[in-house]
Amino acid sequence: MTKEEKQKAVTAAGNPAKPTGEAGEQMLARMNESHAPLTAWGLSHFTWRGDEAVLDIGCGGGANLRRMSAHVTTGHLTGIDYSATSVQTSRQTNAAAIAAGKMEIYEGSVEKLPFPDGSFDKITTVESFYFWPDPPENLKEVCRVLKPGGTFLLIAEIYERPDLSPETRENIQHYHLYNPTPETFESLFRKAGFTTVKVHIEPKEKWICVEGRK
């Protein structure tokens, strides 16, 4: 079995939609590494003060929280994921920040975020939107917990466009990924209540970062 075939087998066994078990842990570890350039580019659209309340939805293996933690000096970070395996892995990745009282990570769903209205200055989701159960409604829930003037960044490797490879299209179909066009993203964000929406496309890799402000 080639390296690529092994990775595909681990991904299938680990379940990208909701990582579980040992294969899920292996997949999360790989995602922490492989998503680093994408995440760094996406987060470059934030301007940091250091005192923000930050939420990461679908926190996976916890690498995005760890990266944002470097920018948050007096603020607080929260992660949420509906996979128990992801929560456990994310807590291990960020054990020091959690012990210091700087971060909390919960098991829960974007369908009903367990936070009051206007709780967060900044919200992110990296490579998780594809799996959200009801994207238009879920975006309204994200907007609800964002503070007025706050920013939400949706960061993803792929979106609907003509030049997607056959393998990517096969994965979209196999894993039932929700994969809108940039124009649909903008429309979804506006309907969800975001007043300012910008769509950023990375010119070389063609990644997408949808920035919504409330």
**In this predicted model, what pLDDT tens digit does every residue of 2-56 receive, in sequence order?**
334 434 433 343 445 555 555 545 544 555 566 789 999 999 999 999 999 999 9
Q: Check residue 175 and give its pLDDT.
A: 84
List pLDDT tens digits, range 164-197.
999 999 988 988 899 999 999 999 999 999 999 9
List pLDDT tens digits, range 135-155.
999 999 999 999 999 999 999
Q: Check residue 56 and give its pLDDT.
A: 98
Q: Check residue 33 and give its pLDDT.
A: 61
Dump the DSSP string for the chain. --HHHHHHHHHHHH-TTS--HHHHHHHHHHHHHHTHHHHHHHHTT----S--EEEEES-TTSHHHHHHHTT-SSSEEEEEES-HHHHHHHHHHTHHHHHTTSEEEEE--TTS-SS-TT-EEEEEEES-GGG-SSHHHHHHHHHHHEEEEEEEEEEES--S-TT--HHHHHHHHHTT-----HHHHHHHHHHHT-SEEEEEE-TTT--EEEEEE-
Domain positions in the chain are 35-213
Amino acid (one-letter) located at 177: L
Q: Three-class SS string for 39-84?
A: HHHHHCCCCCCCCCEEEEECCCCCHHHHHHHCCCCCCEEEEEECCH
Percent of the chain whose pLDDT exceeds 90: 78
Percent of the chain whose pLDDT exceeds 70: 84
What is the length of the chain?
214
Fold of 35-213: Rossmann fold (3.40.50)
Closest CA to 31 of 126, 116, 96: 126
Q: Is the pLDDT of residue 201 over 60?
A: yes
Q: Check residue 11 and give its pLDDT.
A: 37
Q: Check residue 3 and give its pLDDT.
A: 38
Q: Check residue 99 and give its pLDDT.
A: 98
Distance of CA 148 to the CA centre of its chain: 21
